[in-house]
Amino acid sequence: MRAEAAGGTGMLEVISQMGLLIGAGVLLGRLRPGGLDPEATRRGLTDTVYFLLLPALVLDALWRTELSWDSARIAGLAAAGVIVALWLADTGCRLCRMAPPTRGALVLAAAFPNVTYLGLPVLEAAFGPWARSVAVQYDLFACTPLLLTLGILMARRYGTATHGAAPGVLWPLFQVPALWAAAAGVAFNQAGIAASPAIEALLRLLGDAVPPLMVIALGLGLRWMGSGRRRLSAVFPVLLIQLFLMPLLVWGLALAIDLNSRLLPPVVLEAAMPSMVLGLVLCDRYGLDTPFYATAVTLSTALSMLTLPLWYRFLL
């Protein structure tokens, strides 16, 4: 199992590679070579991935993956992790005195892991190309739908913005290109339609560009905006839930439902990912505490460089 999962590459080496790419993104943002605008560059990279490269990767992965009850199990485990994390964070915040915008930012940061921007490249590097489908299913069958429904409801509940809200909770789901690609991939898969070699090669070429670009964009998006001991201590629940409690819960549930032993390590590692960067968009749009959320993303990402190898060693 270890030889197959690591593909000859230790998890520490994988994390080191991810760390270097994140660091490259951070340096690009700090040094601004050639007058580079870090925010514009990040948006350019993420928009290219979001609208073109990621849909191609999703279509390729779900078209060729053998879909079974394990797909439903992966989605169920991901949904359980997010929902329990939402409840834990929201319940815990009631015991402390936080302004509603900060409370909303904390709940989002604690509940939604970075399963695509960091999780997908980590899984692919650690387990091999087959693990792409695990990341895709974990995200698109559970995390993204929950983010664009429950996540938006939470953001509206605690945010201060009074404009720009979507007319309905479900409408944002129809605006995600990767979800349309997922639907097409599942449809082609179940219909038994085979992709031509030329289409497979094109989808693979586009999909291969996703992992490095996403990790570099993650580095460009990291922002340190928190200060003071009290503010930093408020991030602790995010770190506890996101990096320890959520993967522990998913691991226990995976054992309880007898998840395929090959799938268990990548699924639990997805649950152990740090806070997702995309939550910054919801914070800005709905008037949550964006500086707090940015601090939570930065700290959880940095700490995950230590915790992910520990989870990997524990699981294998």
- What is the predicted pLDDT for the residue at 19? 86
Q: What angle do CA 232, 236, 242 make, to 5 degrees?
A: 130
Residue 144 and residue 62: Cα distance in Å, rounded?
16
DSSP, residue by residue, 134-179: HHHHHIIIIIHHHIIIIIHHHHHHH----S---SSSSGGGGG-HHH
275 backbone dihedrals φ, ψ, rounded to 5°: -60, 145
Check residue 42 and give its pLDDT.
Answer: 84
d(CA 100, CA 144): 23
Comparing 111-120, 202-211, 212-221, 238-247, which segment has the lowest mean pLDDT?
212-221
The structural domains of the chain, with segments of one domain joined by +, span: 2-315
Q: Is the pLDDT of residue 219 over 60?
A: yes
Q: Which residues pair with 113 in a beta bridge?
A: 275
Other C-beta atoms lying within 10 Å of the C-beta of residue 39: 11
**Is the pLDDT reported for residue 31 higher than 50?**
yes
Is residue 286 within 8 Å of residue 165, measured between CB atoms?
A: yes
Assess whether pLDDT exceeds 50 at residue 134. yes
Asked if the model's pLDDT at residue 164 lies above 90, the reply is: no
DSSP state letter for 193: P
- Quick one: pLDDT band at residue 1, thresholds 50, 70, 90? very low
Kindly provide the residue ranges of all beta strands, DSSP E only, lying in the chain, ordered along the sequence.
none
Is residue 139's pLDDT more than 80?
yes
pLDDT range class, residue 7, cuts 50, 70, 90: very low
Q: How much is the average pLDDT of 155-164?
A: 76
Triad 131, 135, 138: Cα angle to 5°: 130
Token output for 42: 């990040």
* Percent of the chain at pLDDT exceeding 90: 52
Mean pLDDT of 228-237: 76
Amino acid at residue number 68: S
128: burial class by Cβ within 10 Å (0-12, 13-18, 19+)? middle
pLDDT band with cut points at 50, 70 and 90 for residue 43: confident
What is the chain's length?
A: 316
144, 268 contact by CB (below 8 A): no
CB atoms within 10 A of CB 309: 18
- The encoded tokens of residue 315 equal 């699981």
Residue 135: which of 189, 42, 62, 196 has the closest Cα?
62
What is the CATH number assigned to the segment(s) 2-315? 1.20.1530.20
Q: Is the pLDDT of residue 246 over 50?
A: yes
What is the spatial distance between Cα 81 and Cα 112, in angstroms, rounded to a whole number? 9
* pLDDT, greater one: 227 or 288: 288
d(CA 214, CA 226): 24
The three-state secondary structure class of 275 is strand
**pLDDT reading at 221 higher than 80:** no
Which residues, listed in sequence order, are joined to residue 275 by a DSSP beta bridge? 113
Q: What is the pLDDT of residues 45-84, one digit of tens each?
A: 888 988 999 999 999 999 988 888 999 999 999 999 999 9
Half-sphere exposure at residue 98, Cβ-oriented, CA atoms within 13 angstroms: 27
Asked if residue 119 lies in contact with residue 18, where contact means CB atoms within 8 angstroms, the answer is no
Tokens of 109: 């940061």
Between 227 and 57, the more confident residue is 57
> Do 253 and 77 meet the contact criterion of CB atoms below 8 Å apart?
yes
**Tokens 């309880």 identify what position?**
256
Chain mean pLDDT for the chain: 87
Q: Report pLDDT for 261.
A: 94
Mean pLDDT of all residues in 247-260: 96
